[in-house]
Amino acid sequence: MKLVLPFLLLSAFSFCQEFEIRNLKINDKYDHFAVRKVGDIVFFSTNLLTRRGNPIRDRFQQELYGVYEAKVDEHGEIYDAKLINRTDTSKFNMSVTAFSNDGKYMYYTSNNTVKGYNNLADYDTFNLVIQRAEYVEGRGWTNFTTLPFCDPDFNFAHPALSPDGSTLYFIADVEGTKGKSDLYKVSVTDHRSYGELERLNDSINSPRTETYPFVSIDNKLYFASDRRGGKGGIDIYVYDLESDDKDQVAISLPEPINNIGDDFSFYLNDDLDSGYVSSRRLRGNGRDDLYYFTGFKSLDLTD
C-alpha cells in the first residue's frame, strides 16, 4: 500500500498548479480499468457480477471481467454504464479493448477455448488470447474471431492500435520473450490480416514484466512495467515511436501519475492533455480504481 502523501488529502488533488487527478464516482469495491473512447462513448473493463452483486468466477475460481460502455461528462465522470451489446451472451472473460478509428472493429483480451501449456505455471491451462469483434448495426458486437497468430501455448493480451490503425501492439510471453511478458507488434491490413510478430526493442522491454500498451495520437507508446528503478510496484512509462534517437530509453511518468502503488492502463485523449489511468492507491474506493486527469501537458516528461 502507498504512504500518506500531502496531495492525497482530498479525492481530487493536484501536484502542480496546472495538473489535477481525480478519483471517479463510478469506482466501487471492485476493479475498474482500461478506458478507451470512441467518439462520445467510453468503454472500460470491470468485474462481471451476479444478481446479488458478487463477482462471477470461472472453473479455476478466477474472477471474470466484462466490457462496459458509458457516457462521459465534461469533467471526465463516467455514468450510465451498461454491458456492451453482443450476439454471444455466454459468460466469458473479456477486457482491455482497442478500437478501429471508425469504431467498427474491437480487439480485446479473453481466454483461449483451447487448452495450452502455461510456461510460467508448468501446467496446461486456457491461456490469454486476443480476439476481434465487428460491430453490426441492429445486432451489436458479433463475428468474434481469435487472431491467427495467437498460439494456445502462450499468452497474448492487452491490444492497442496505432493512430492510423496499421499496427497492433500487445503483450505476449512467446519464445524469445526476455521478461515474464514483453511488448510485441504486428502489422494490420483492413482488420482482416496480420503480419509477423515483432518484439519491441530492449529500450522498451525489460527483464521484468511489461503490460497495458497504449499509443497516443502523436504516436507515443505508453505502457506499464514493474522494472527496477520505478516509483512503485507497477509504473507507467512513455517511449516516442517517432524519435530517431538511437539512445532513447523509456521514461517513467512523474508523480502523481505514478505513485508508490500500482499504476497501469494509461489512456490519453486526443487533446493530449486529459485522460484516464487505473491505479491502486491509498484511500481509493476499491481495488483498482479509475482516475481522470487534466493538465498532462504541464508535466515535465524528461527523465
Domains of the chain by start residue, with CATH: 6-297 (2.120.10.30)
Beta-strand pair 78-83/65-72:
antiparallel
pLDDT given for residue 16 in this prediction: 53
DSSP run (H or E) holding 214: strand 210-215
Low-confidence ranges of the chain (pLDDT < 70): 1-17, 119-121, 303
Cell of 272: 493530449
pLDDT of residue 10: 37
* Residue 14 pLDDT: 43
Count of beta carbons in the 10 Å neighbourhood of residue 195: 14
Q: Which residues contact 284 (CB under 8 A, 6 or more apart)?
A: 23, 27
- Counted residue by residue, the chain has a size of 303
The 3-state DSSP class for residue 155 equals coil
Strand segments, DSSP code E, in 11-118 are: 12-13, 20-23, 32-38, 41-47, 65-72, 78-83, 95-99, 105-111, 116-118
Q: Is 152 left (phi over 0), alpha (psi -120 to 50) or beta?
A: alpha
Q: Is the pTM of this model over 0.75?
A: yes
Residue 124: predicted pLDDT: 76
Res 51: pLDDT? 92
How many other CB atoms are there within 10 angstroms of residue 283's CB atom? 12
Q: How many CB atoms lie within 10 A of CB 259?
A: 22
Residue 3 has a pLDDT of 33
53 vs 57: CA distance, rounded Å: 12
Residue-level pLDDT at 13? 44
In what order do the strands lie in the sheet containing 65-72? 32-38, 41-47, 65-72, 78-83
